[in-house]
Chain A
């Protein structure tokens, strides 16, 4: 009953050889997925918002609603 000698060395290296490419690959895929599902839509949303943004109009609307302390609504 002579068994084969088991692997004595290089166990971590073998595991890393297998798992490290997978880990890097998954991390890269996660980053790419995040970029195209979150950051690109967000950039587009901000661009579209500010294309038609009238700051003065928004300011006056907020002023009339009474949310500022420095300027009260024009009626008072």
Chain B
């Protein structure tokens, strides 16, 4: 029961993922439309997915007479089918083979390009903000103020064992 539910969920996901319009019944129902034909999503659909091997229905619904006779021959012993017939039967059931499905695309180039483009745009935005939005830095960022802060940290013996004050030579008054 759970398996069926999982299969149904996968089917629903598949419908949202890839719409392969193969059902010719739908085509006949929508003749005379200029709008692109709508697919009836409430009926079993075909999909090519690497993780769900067996779609809800075969790829080709309307079989020609040659296809029908081939299907009849399929009901007998398969050793009598030639290699071409077996391939033809496969192509009746499925649109793409696994290698065809798994072909690499160049999508990564688009993705990477988009990433860099928006990073660059963000950089421009941040630059503009630095000039027109940020308030002036506090006085404590200036060199003299920073020196006074460092001196106070050394006076307080900040991290005297392995850290900051450990690197200062208190006898000579200089960095080690």
Contact = CB atoms under 8 A, between A and B. Distances in A.
B73 interface: no
Contacts, number: 18
B86 to A, nearest CB: 9
A61 B170 CA distance: 10
Chain A interface SS verdict (over half): helix
Interface in B122-166: 152, 155-157, 160-162, 166
A45 B156 contact: no
B162 A58 contact: no
A61 B157 CA distance: 10
B161 A49 contact: yes
Interface residues of B, number: 9
Interface string A45-69: 1100100000000100110011100
Nearest to B154: A65
Contacts of A66: 155
B155 A65 contact: yes
B157 A58 contact: yes
Nearest to B162: A45
A42 interface: yes
B18 to A, nearest CB: 27
Contacts of A45: 161-162
Given A46-B161, A62-B155, A62-B156, 8 more contacts: A42-B162, A45-B161, A45-B162, A49-B160, A49-B166, A66-B155, A67-B152, A67-B156
15 contacts: A45-B161, A45-B162, A46-B161, A49-B160, A49-B161, A49-B166, A58-B157, A61-B170, A62-B156, A62-B157, A65-B155, A66-B155, A67-B152, A67-B155, A67-B156
